[in-house]
Structure 1
Amino acid sequence: MTIHVEDLKFQCIIGILDFERIKKQDVIVNLTINYNYENGFINYADIVQIVKENMTKSEFFLIEDALNSLNLKLIKEYNSINNIKIKITKPSILPDCKVSVGNHYKSQS
């Protein structure tokens, strides 16, 4: 089975620039989770909550660190996950474009 979470938008502290450490900014998270349904379903509402809580509480400096943290948190929480594709976008950081960083993770189990 595959869960798709598209355009999850919320605000958090993320970034290395001085002003990014002071004021929350919009982020958009997209993720695709492939998992073994035979071990039970994964509630997508719980996935959304984990993503939002992890990012708002951690106040990451780098998007790359946020990606790795989300992957580890989700893999630890749900051992039926086979792989995860995550993309985090900062839509307002540059005036003429959106910037994103993404990665595809495969479970080690």
Structure 2
Amino acid sequence: MSGGIQRPLSRIRVKDLRLRTFIGFNDEEQRKRQDVVVNLRIDYDALAAARGDVVDEALDYKTITKQIIAHIEDNRFLLLEKLVNDLVELIMAHTAVQYAEVEVDKPHALRFADSVSLTMTAQRD
């Protein structure tokens, strides 16, 4: 394609991935798993995969999601910051990823709020 058409990166979103983990530092949080809700944005260049319909050119979001599930369920976290940062780094370890945004909600973390969330991003130079 020519004629000055630019194609921005493609965006994959994983929405409302609901998992349970140990998160927090008070006694009750250390004893029982809590719900967390994960939302991901992953940008990468999908044109080769799209134009050729070539599976090997596509980013395997299923593998990334399985890695995230395993990491959350198999670990303990004192801070939401640690959990979110780990997930950003896990996603960015895939070299095709140009930008990642991870938001994790901790439902019922505050008495009068639906949830507390933290978002972190990363992008390649």
> If the length of structure 1 is used for normalisation, what is the TM-score?
0.88
Displaced runs of 4 or more, over 3 A: none
> Is structure 2 residue 97 aligned with structure 1 residue 81?
yes
Residue of structure 1 in register with 2:106 after alignment: 90
CA-to-partner distance for each residue in 1:9-29, whole Å, 9 max, x for gaps?
011111122211110000000
For the residue of structure 1 that corresponds to 2:109, the secondary structure is strand
- Of the two, which has the highest radius of gyration? 2
Residue of structure 2 in register with 1:48 after alignment: 65
Which one of the candidate residues 25, 35, 38 is aligned to 1:16? 25
Tell me the percent identity: 27
1:35–1:82 CA contact under 8 A, matched in 2: yes
Range 52-61 or range 31-40, more displaced: 31-40
Alpha-carbon separation, structure 2, partners of 1:22 and 1:82:
38
Residue of structure 1 in register with 2:14 after alignment: 5
1:25–1:92 CA contact under 8 A, matched in 2: no
1:5–1:31 CA contact under 8 A, matched in 2: yes
| C-alpha deviation, 1:49, in angstroms | 1.1
CA-to-partner distance for each residue in 1:1-50, whole Å, 9 max, x for gaps?
21100111011111122211110000000010001224821222222211
Which one of the candidate residues 64, 70, 75 is aligned to 2:87? 70
Q: Which has the higher contact order (CA 8 A, sep 6+)?
A: 1
Higher normalized strand content (fraction of residues): 1
For structure 1, the residue ranges without an aligned partner over 5 or more in a row are none
Give the RMSD, CA atoms, in angstroms: 1.5
For the residue of structure 1 that corresponds to 2:66, the secondary structure is helix
